[in-house]
Amino acid sequence: MNEIRPPVVTILGHVDHGKTTLLDFIRKSSVAAKEHGGITQHIGAYQVEIPKESKSRESEANRGIPRKTRDDLAENRKITFIDTPGHAAFEQMRSRGAKVADIAVLVVAIDDGLMPQTLEAIKHIQKAKVSMIVVVNKIDLPGIDMKVQLAKIKKQLSDQKINLEEYGGDVPLLPLSAKTGKGVDKLLEMILLVSEMHEIKGDSTLAPAGVVIESSLDKFKGPIATILIRNGTLKKGEQILVGGVKGKVRGMFDWSGKSVDSAGPSVPVEVLGLESVSAVGAKLGKEAEVTDEAVQVMSLIEKLKEGETKTLKVVIKADKQGSLEAIQASLDKFNEEKKVIDFVFTGAGDIGEENIKLAATVGAIVVGFNVKVATNAAKLAENEHVLIRTYNIIYELLDDIEEVVNTLLEVGQLEEVLGKANIIAEFPFGKNERVAGCRLTEGAIAKGQKIRVIREGQVIGEGKLKSLRKVKEEVNKVEKGNDCGMLFDPPIDFAIGDIVESFRVI
């Protein structure tokens, strides 16, 4: 059952053009914020509900919109905003921000016009193929010649191939002041309108799919992740897998800090109960909306990492026998040392249902060159979670496959994780060494095994165990559920909250 869901909006633009001020104004003026006495948590995103009686509804934002549509609109008046994060992963998140969003609001300060980061943001938005709304901010600034400045900005936008509404395009432009709030209500109406026109829908009856937009390690609560639910519903108590990290939803909180039992499409929630810190951008469940090329390749790689098999099974369809042979010959070079690509089926013609059925059965991906995907095949692929990639340029096809194969080769010689432990305490040892007080969460860790210490998904040190103690007694092995003290050789600069993994190279 498809229902209208709130649009997910990201605000992009050059530094100091007023993104934070705008996000803050919207957050503070929202009904929910007032209900909660203005107390809001920062979880990387928030939702606002737009009151129906908003003044501008009857005026500008309703230009040419039939009454029926307007009434429908009145039923769903929530918007999810992603906060632009100011941490180190800013660049990365910014591009991801555009990808997880349905609508991007581009903020341009009226006195500055388009600046380098504005241009960068435009590129991200265009690449992610999300709808755009341009906001010209700071119109309250004294001494600004509105007419001249607006004309200048419109010209600059046109130069960037942005088709503004007033020139017959589909990108609205709104002058406003994030500081005084003038025009912000119009922006909110505009967002709802754009969302309505694009029929942004979700299905709350499905299993949850979502993306991590923020994650951290809390001293008391353990790993925390803000997951933006893209589709389906996430429920408290549910077992989840987030980009390879397992967990059980122990608690969920919305942006106002309120504990919630479930979160449906477009809802951002802070989730407690993951076993370790997950990466920003990691996915919950099967994210079916794979539109961006890089995301597609990433999900392919993730699939391979999860999979038991270490060969890439492919079904190849191409327009002509000749191109088929050329592709196969180029890909065969990867098989010289050992077989990494398994050609399950190759044939000329469009990608049909039977190709997807085969791919689903054997766990293959489907690669098309200069061919189309039949509608029923695309549907089946979505249901069966079969990845289809089509190309018109042979080098792009080869590049993508090469990336996947390289990952495969790496994974092929990866290690087997034997045990995992959380560092829950630390004790001084000798002159300047420290013992890590650990609790085993998986498998077993034994002396002599290789170990590594992981923080927020990053390896911070590798070595062996010099000493392994249960209470005061030196032991050879500690199993899941037990506590122990570990002394690393060489010493590793661990911290409480880090994870210790023991592994062997296969």
Name the residues that contact ligand GDP, by CB under 6 A: 13, 15-21, 137-138, 140-141, 177-179
In Å, the largest CA–CA distance within the chain is: 80
Q: What angle do CA 328, 332, 335 make, to 5 degrees?
A: 150
Which lies closer to ligand GDP via its Cβ, residue 15 or residue 393?
Answer: 15
Closest distance to ligand GDP from the beta carbon of 428 (Å): 44
The rounded distance, in Å, linking the Cα atoms of 114 and 112 is 7
What sign has the CA pseudo-torsion 87, 88, 91, 97? negative
Which lies closer to ligand GDP via its Cβ, residue 138 or residue 230?
Answer: 138
| 361-382: b (≥16 Cβ within 10 Å) or e | eeebbbbbbebebbeebeebbe
Closest distance to ligand GDP from the beta carbon of 23 (Å): 8
The rounded distance, in Å, linking the Cα atoms of 250 and 256 is 18
Q: Burial of 307 by CB count in 10 Å (0-12 exposed, 13-18 middle, 19+ buried)?
A: middle
| H/E element, 188 | helix 184-197
Closest distance to ligand GDP from the beta carbon of 30 (Å): 17
Which lies closer to ligand GDP via its Cβ, residue 182 or residue 333?
Answer: 182
Closest distance to ligand GDP from the beta carbon of 190 (Å): 17
Q: Burial of 139 by CB count in 10 Å (0-12 exposed, 13-18 middle, 19+ buried)?
A: buried
Which lies closer to ligand GDP via its Cβ, residue 175 or residue 243?
Answer: 175
Coil, strand or helix at 460 = strand
Which lies closer to ligand GDP via its Cβ, residue 152 or residue 313?
Answer: 152
Contacts 24+ apart (CB under 8 A), 71-74: 72/4, 72/196, 73/192, 73/193, 73/196
**What single-letter amino acid sits at 328?**
Q
Which residues are CB-neighbours of 491 under 8 A, at least 6 positions away? 433, 434
Which lies closer to ligand GDP via its Cβ, residue 20 or residue 482?
Answer: 20
Closest distance to ligand GDP from the beta carbon of 412 (Å): 45
Phi, psi of 203 (to 5 degrees): -135, 105
The rounded distance, in Å, linking the Cα atoms of 137 and 179 is 9
Closest distance to ligand GDP from the beta carbon of 170 (Å): 25
Phi, psi of 152 (to 5 degrees): -65, -45
The rounded distance, in Å, linking the Cα atoms of 347 and 468 is 58
Which lies closer to ligand GDP via its Cβ, residue 15 or residue 294?
Answer: 15
Closest distance to ligand GDP from the beta carbon of 141 (Å): 5
Answer whether 225's CB lies under 8 Å from 214's CB.
yes
Which lies closer to ligand GDP via its Cβ, residue 108 or residue 212?
Answer: 108
Give how far Cα 273 sits from Cα of 4, 220, 234, 248, 318, Å.
30, 12, 13, 5, 46
Closest distance to ligand GDP from the beta carbon of 2 (Å): 35
Give how far Cα 332 sits from Cα of 53, 325, 326, 328, Å.
64, 10, 10, 6
Which lies closer to ligand GDP via its Cβ, residue 177 or residue 231?
Answer: 177
Closest distance to ligand GDP from the beta carbon of 112 (Å): 10
Which lies closer to ligand GDP via its Cβ, residue 26 or residue 157?
Answer: 26
Closest distance to ligand GDP from the beta carbon of 20 (Å): 3
Which lies closer to ligand GDP via its Cβ, residue 144 or residue 217?
Answer: 144
Closest distance to ligand GDP from the beta carbon of 87 (Å): 14
Closest distance to ligand GDP from the beta carbon of 145 (Å): 15
Coil, strand or helix at 380 = helix
Which residues are CB-neighbours of 96 under 8 A, at least 6 positions away? 211, 213, 280, 281
Which lies closer to ligand GDP via its Cβ, residue 3 or residue 145?
Answer: 145
Closest distance to ligand GDP from the beta carbon of 111 (Å): 9
Which lies closer to ligand GDP via its Cβ, residue 15 or residue 425?
Answer: 15
Selection from 255, 210, 200, 217 nearest residue 235 by Cα: 210
Count of Cβ atoms closer than 10 Å to residue 75 Cβ? 8
State the residue for tokens 């309505």.
196
